[in-house]
Structure 1
Amino acid sequence: MKSMQGLLHKTSLQEARERRQASLAAISVAGQKRTWPSDDTDPSRPPPAPHGTVQFQRASSLPAALGRLSASGIVQLRESASLDLGHPADDLPSQLVANFASLGIKQIYPWQKNCLRGPGLLDGDKNLVYCAPTGGGKSLVADLLMLKRIMREPGTKALLVLPYVALVQEKVRWLRNVVQGLQPPAESLPADDRQSPWRRRADQGVIRVVGFFGGGKVRATWDDFDIGVCTLEKARQPNISSWILADANALINTAIDDCSIPRLRAVVLDELHMVDDDHRGYLLELIATKLLSLEQPVQIRGMSAALPNMNLMAEWLNAHCYETRYRPVPIEEHLVYGGKVHAARSSHSLARTRGQLSSQDITEGRATPLRQIQNSAHKEFSDPVLNAVVSLAYETTSTGFGSLVFAGSRAICESDARWISRVMPEPHQLCPALLDKRMDLLSDLRSLSTGVDPVLEETVLYGVAFHRRVPFVLAVETNSDADAGLTSEERDLIAAAYDSGTILICVATCSLAAGINLPARRVILHNARMGRELIGPSMLRQMRGRAGRQGKSPVGETYLCCREGDLEQVLELMHADIPEVLSCLNTENRRIQRYVCEGAALFAFANLAGRALLEVISIRLATGRESIRDYFSRSLRAYSHGTEFVYKCLESSLDEVQSMGLAATSGGSENFIPTQLGKAIVASAIDPDDGIFVHKELTRALRAFVMNGEMHILYVFTPVQDFGIAVNWQVFCNKMEALDESGLRVLSFIGIKPTAILKLAQGGSLKETTEEEREVARVYRRFYLALQLQDLYNEVPIHVVSRKYDMARGAVQTLSQTCQGFAAGMIKFCVQMGWGVMAAALDHYSDRLMAGARTDLLALATIPFIKSRTARVFWESGYRSVAAIANANAKELLPVLMQAQPNKIRLKAQNDEKLEEKMLAKAEVISAAANRLWQSQMQAEIDLE
């Protein structure tokens, strides 16, 4: 039966096949390219079937008469269409969309779209806290929300708060490009804004972007910006008629005090996790708490790459929260130990908990390595960690990509740069174009008035450099050795050269991880220590996050090279959770470690909160006991530890500020008012303890001020912080012996004993066991800094001062920049105290401090590119006024500029031509600027007549 069914089945198949072959045999088109006529009138094509009719044809008639079927169209449901910046739903001006496109941004990521669509965000009704990995695009979300808000309400303002000066400078450049050419209707602007000279600046369009940061020379006020980009650091900037405060916290204080705060609509707090920073975190907390207490329509946006307790932060800020782990460029992480490279995230290697993986798994080979770094034949690379760092860095450059090497100290940073440069190709082996770029970079470094760092001079031609950020206030940094070094001009040149590919390897200290945007294909960690301590999980994530950037590299790589003694701790670190972010006013804060009992801890908190309380009272944000309690109930500390604890601390803090004479009750009521001293401390933006010290010093100066010399003035201008320096007492002694009679009188008036300096120079130690001894030591260190300031004040170059006092050039430059701001604060302090004569005397010398030159050069120093040393060369060449330079053409100024340049590197004749070309361009800028200044001076004289 089965065989019969099979036969019947076979026969039917054969019959069907035979019939089909017979029908197709005459017109076979197998293997031929088939073309169909495009003319719809072709008679060989069947007419279209009427609607609703289904026609069937036999197979034998297919070639001649069967109508062709059409495949269904596929509609692309492109989510990316809604991700275009020009999508109607986003309602962005076409000029803004074009500006973003010119910067390489045409679309947003899906997570950015979802985040922006959060409840009430686009309308500004809801605050936002969000977290995204480094390089994930979190800044764009804040930029779009901020721009939409100020464009929707012309005349309003936004503040962007960043932790470092370098980030402020970078962000200002970025935002000015973003808002270029935006022209909202003039009638929608307030009348005073239409007349503002800042508003008419063509390079900024209508939306004015101004940076406020320490050491800057921007003369702008609250009324002169639409977007203010600020640091957390305490910096003072000069106004035309007075001195104002220019950090974010002080700007907000000023706006609250003069009732202009209603114009503020948006505040962006970048690196929100720094709210628990021991030294500056309280400023972030103060800013946010004030904004929450204002009951104004200010939208707060806090962002970070690491916020493990984001819900708490969102609750504190009454914000919508959003978190993503999306990275447009993947990162491959590795651990390097004993010359073996292990994949840190592979299932067969290190992707286990530290309880499952120990150092034995690696040392005994149970964790299979991916690669082996061979031992070096050079004894200089006998250290396996150094050998790994050098080999991995060289491997990256051989493929044409850049790498960042993170070192834990200044010494290791310089050493790594030197060793890596030793294995790089010789300059003569490079292509001429690349060699010319490196020669130009070295030439620019040598032309700086501060001189060139000797290590950079050795390594730049090999495509290797190092980058060390100098904190603006070194006094609050515990690792000054790790950060001090390069000047700001050197850091800018190095960063630009690395970004352009002229420099391929940049060795940096750990602080760079969050200090500037320098992405790399490969990030190499020379051990996991910063100084003597292991870095934390947050810092590790920051450093790893520098690897890979959209448009820069298709993938990112990180290599953590560690030693045998650190292996167990490093494995623990790699798998450690990021600690929760809490208020910096907790009892574990390093500032208050000396307090152990609960009562002392409360006092320590009160001492830290004293400035916050004094500010609140001084700007009249809260003056009664209940209103003060209500204010501090909005602080992060209240959300993390409860209001009862905060209330106890407030009572201690109120007692403290009253006992210090900074505040008092009004007529026995529950209302508090600041004293004259309290107002002066807030106005000068210094801590209460520093304010008490300054008050004592200035009170003593009022009784006996040495006016027949400059040393006393310079001592008053010197910051009260000690910058973390180690005093070279022998240098101090030599400088003391060289002082004139007025300088020696200053020593006597401020309480410095020459005999004590002599003993210290012979090997003695400065005692600091009691409070009185600590205050005396503070005076000695401050005078040591004043001696350096005196040299800078008298046009001694920074690199000469650096060698003379055994300090890094970057630290000397930071001293110079900090003094400019501190001097402004001291003038404001004296004005608030009613010491008008002292304020006038200080104000007279402040211009010299700003210019870094003697009085005869002050007019020339107002011209761009003419500062200190260059101004002296112009003076000696006969150009002794702005008018003289304005009446000279650029070619006449060129020889003077060439003379002002330090020794240049000239290996080829074309380098001379390039140098002259650059100097001629600078001379044209100087000539044009001098003309503008001269015309302004002439117009001012005409107006006075």
Structure 2
Amino acid sequence: MLGEGSRGAILEITLAKVLFASKTTQIIGMSATLNNVGDLQKFLKAENYSSDFRPVQLKEYVKLSDCIYEVDCKEEDCFKFSRPLSFKYSSNMKKMDPDHLIALVTEVIPMHSCLMFCPTKKNCENVAGMICKYLNKCFIQHREKEKTDLLDEIRSAGNGSICSVLKQTVPFGIAYHHSGLTNDERKLIEEAYSAGVLCLLTCTSTLAAGVNLPARRVILRSPYVATEFLKRNQYKQMVGRAGRAGIDTSGESILILQEKDKLLAKALVSRPLENCYSNLMHDNRKGLQSLILSLIGLNISRTPADIQEFVSCTLFSVQQEHLSSEKNLWDITMETVSFLTEKGLIMSTAGSHGDTVLEVTKLGRATYKGSIDLSYCDVLYSDLKRGLGGLVLDSILHLIYLVTPYDMVAHCKPDWMIYFRQFTQLTAVEQNMASMVGVPESYIVKKASGQSLKKGVDSLTVNRFYLAFVLFALLKETNVWVVADKFNLARGFVQSLLGSSSAFCSCVVHFTEELEEFWAYRALFIELTKRLTYCVKAELIPLMEVAGILEARAKQLYGAGYKTLAHLANADPNVLTKTIQNMSKRQANQMVASAKMLLTEKAEALQEEVDELLTFPSDLPS
């Protein structure tokens, strides 16, 4: 993970700080797909233990035409003939399934589990649907009751809505798994697969790392992720899902190949694993810039020499000659310090011994305390500054726009007709506000009519306002399915947008706390963070703070008269079970106990404030 873009940079920064701050903290790193272990050893000052032991044997195969070949690097072609693939296909089936996916999966399901990695999210859904069309109806009878219950749970999690593909495939023990699912759907599908209720998941490559869902057989639908040919590390992560320790005695993987990809596949299965490299220089040195800003802000390093010493303890320093042969570490560090100075995030002053001492500016402190991306800190500042001149509070839309994450814009292009329809439904005040932030109605009208426009309107602002529309609708509807359908977006994306906005809103709270001119925003954004976190009507938020209460349950409690935290904390669990539908005695006891604990914590916090106010300094005259 250290080699994965901005996420890897954050991980490297965190590890470097832990190593600097503590000599007793124990760090354990684990990987099945790491090549340059020596670099990591040096960075972490670590011992190394490696083993090729695998509790369940894994056999790797490829499928070419109608034959299965075993991967054997001792062979000249790397592939040794294993067996022909025998399965009776009708002419229509062969047309629909030229890669013999049905033959490959029915060799193991339903008695054993199978994962099929597909190159795209849409392909996951299409493949799952196609397989079900041609499976024998006896597959439906296998654990039928549990699959019916699973569909009911998925429907309940979607507030009565269910995906048409899952509705078709789950009775056969099949489901798809990708980022388009909601968190609840994903959890239910993973649990059902682990329990054997579902026997086949068609999934994207993201399931290969991080989610522990092993299988008897892993099928790689194609050697591509989207349009990119697989990397060796990705391949090993995927095939490594095969084999369940304690459940299966063996595991196998099958990579489906076309003749044109045979040479590339030969290199894929035989070459060494890719090296893991530092990402502090990724995206124009963003990681290194964040590191140095936080070092100065946290008073870990205040002089150029101290910063140089800290940076020399990073993975980047260990690999610097591979990553930046033109410049040495000192030059790179000083260039980054100059960049932060020019951006107005740090400033240099003369120390007591005539040396240079670095300090963060107010904007710099707000940026690192709010964990704001350095690419957007000045944009956020100017957006908030402009908002002070005409903040519209007739509607929550303006506040939502201010905390819509900048980095989500790249993942969603507006549907201009939908954009236009949503724009026309705004009030006159909201339309004026849109124009004020840089989204004129005339621009939306022209884009919706298909006109190509010259630049003059900031696309980041316009596209971000579209995402603000999605969030605005979500806070009104509070139903991910309805909003996803309204904007023709994946429900998983809508939920991800909501989660990112909640997190970003919390970051903006910390950002504004450090800048006195933004004092008015703090209370507004604290309340908005709650709205975005729970995504329910405002009156339900106090109940949503209690552990175990989701929107449907909060509505039941509110309707039954339990409208505040105090109401719930003082409730009789026996009365709750009789009043609230489908609530067990155990759930009622847990809910009341959680409400009492939360109420006590709030009361103690208020008491501390009271005690602090009533404490008089001892040096005052009597």
TM-score under structure 2 length normalisation: 0.89
Contact 2:176-2:201 within 8 A present in 1 as well = yes
- 1:514 aligns to 2:209 (yes or no): yes
Aligned to 1:920: 583
- 1:719 aligns to 2:405 (yes or no): yes
Matched AA of 2:240: G
Contact 2:546-2:598 within 8 A present in 1 as well = no
Q: Secondary structure at the match of 1:275?
A: coil
Aligned to 2:392: 706
Aligned to 2:620: none
Q: Secondary structure at the match of 2:220?
A: strand
- 1:464 aligns to 2:177 (yes or no): no
C-alpha separation between the residues in 1 aligned to 2:431 and 2:87? 63
Matched AA of 1:811: F
Q: CA deviation at 1:756?
A: 0.6
Contact 2:565-2:599 within 8 A present in 1 as well = no
Aligned to 2:378: 692
Matched AA of 1:713: L
Matched AA of 1:612: L
Corresponding residue to 1:728 among 386, 411, 415: 415
- 1:789 aligns to 2:498 (yes or no): no
Q: CA deviation at 1:351?
A: 3.6
| CA distance 1:525–1:811, shift in 2 (3 Å) | same
Larger deviation, residues 924-933 vs 558-567: 924-933
Corresponding residue to 2:117 among 403, 406, 426: 406
TM-score under structure 1 length normalisation: 0.60
Aligned to 1:390: 102
C-alpha separation between the residues in 1 aligned to 2:124 and 2:315? 37
Aligned to 1:801: 483
Q: How many correspondences in the alignment?
A: 596
Contact 1:405-1:508 within 8 A present in 2 as well = yes
Q: CA deviation at 1:892?
A: 5.9
C-alpha separation between the residues in 2 aligned to 1:755 and 1:435? 56
C-alpha separation between the residues in 2 aligned to 1:939 and 1:623? 39
Aligned to 1:31: none
Q: CA deviation at 1:446?
A: 0.8
Aligned to 1:420: 131
Corresponding residue to 2:347 among 661, 664, 668: 664
Aligned to 1:630: 309
Aligned to 1:89: none
Aligned to 1:454: 164
Q: Secondary structure at the match of 2:465?
A: helix
Corresponding residue to 1:293 among 20, 24, 41: 20
Contact 1:339-1:384 within 8 A present in 2 as well = no
Contact 1:376-1:382 within 8 A present in 2 as well = no
C-alpha separation between the residues in 1 aligned to 2:70 and 2:278? 36
Aligned to 2:145: 436
Q: CA deviation at 1:882?
A: 4.5
The percent of aligned pairs where both chains have the same amino acid is: 24
C-alpha separation between the residues in 1 aligned to 2:268 and 2:44? 30
Q: Secondary structure at the match of 1:637?
A: helix
Q: CA deviation at 1:535?
A: 1.3
C-alpha separation between the residues in 1 aligned to 2:475 and 2:307? 45
Aligned to 2:246: 551
Contact 2:114-2:199 within 8 A present in 1 as well = yes
| CA distance 1:509–1:767, shift in 2 (3 Å) | farther
| CA distance 1:937–1:557, shift in 2 (3 Å) | closer
| CA distance 1:767–1:860, shift in 2 (3 Å) | farther
Matched AA of 2:511: F
Matched AA of 1:798: V
Unaligned runs of 5+ in 2: 611-622
Contact 2:308-2:330 within 8 A present in 1 as well = yes
- 1:493 aligns to 2:179 (yes or no): no
Q: CA deviation at 1:802?
A: 0.5
- 1:381 aligns to 2:94 (yes or no): yes
The structure number with the bigger radius of gyration is 1
| CA distance 1:766–1:305, shift in 2 (3 Å) | farther
C-alpha separation between the residues in 2 aligned to 1:732 and 1:429? 43
CA deviation map 1:399-444 (0-9, x unaligned): x11111111101110111112223444368625xx21111111111
Matched AA of 1:752: V
C-alpha separation between the residues in 2 aligned to 1:534 and 1:545? 18
Provide the aligned C-alpha RMSD in A.
2.7
C-alpha separation between the residues in 1 aligned to 2:43 and 2:251? 35
Q: Secondary structure at the match of 1:370?
A: strand
Matched AA of 1:298: T
C-alpha separation between the residues in 2 aligned to 1:699 and 1:877? 44
Q: Secondary structure at the match of 1:466?
A: strand
Q: CA deviation at 1:608?
A: 4.5
CA deviation map 1:58-100 (0-9, x unaligned): xxxxxxxxxxxxxxxxxxxxxxxxxxxxxxxxxxxxxxxxxxx
C-alpha separation between the residues in 2 aligned to 1:465 and 1:894? 37
C-alpha separation between the residues in 1 aligned to 2:370 and 2:384? 14
| CA distance 1:757–1:357, shift in 2 (3 Å) | same
Aligned to 1:856: 539
Q: CA deviation at 1:295?
A: 5.7
| CA distance 1:857–1:879, shift in 2 (3 Å) | same
Corresponding residue to 2:504 among 822, 825, 831: 822
| CA distance 1:609–1:941, shift in 2 (3 Å) | closer
Aligned to 2:335: 652
Matched AA of 1:751: G
Q: CA deviation at 1:515?
A: 2.7
Contact 2:370-2:510 within 8 A present in 1 as well = yes
Contact 1:465-1:494 within 8 A present in 2 as well = yes
Q: CA deviation at 1:342?
A: 0.6
Matched AA of 1:441: L
Aligned to 1:811: 493
C-alpha separation between the residues in 1 aligned to 2:4 and 2:603? 51
CA deviation map 1:257-313 (0-9, x unaligned): xxxxxxxxxxxxxxxxx2121231111221222233336322322221122111122
Contact 1:394-1:420 within 8 A present in 2 as well = no
Contact 1:795-1:869 within 8 A present in 2 as well = no
Aligned to 1:844: 527
- 1:584 aligns to 2:293 (yes or no): no
Contact 2:505-2:528 within 8 A present in 1 as well = no
C-alpha separation between the residues in 1 aligned to 2:204 and 2:349? 51
Contact 1:661-1:677 within 8 A present in 2 as well = yes
CA deviation map 1:139-195 (0-9, x unaligned): xxxxxxxxxxxxxxxxxxxxxxxxxxxxxxxxxxxxxxxxxxxxxxxxxxxxxxxxx
CA deviation map 1:636-675 (0-9, x unaligned): 1221124962222112111110000000002474111011
C-alpha separation between the residues in 2 aligned to 1:551 and 1:765? 61
Q: CA deviation at 1:533?
A: 1.0
CA deviation map 1:564-610 (0-9, x unaligned): 22222222212122122122245xx5x4xxxxxxxxxxxx33x5421
Aligned to 1:331: 58
Unaligned runs of 5+ in 1: 1-273, 469-483, 592-603, 898-918
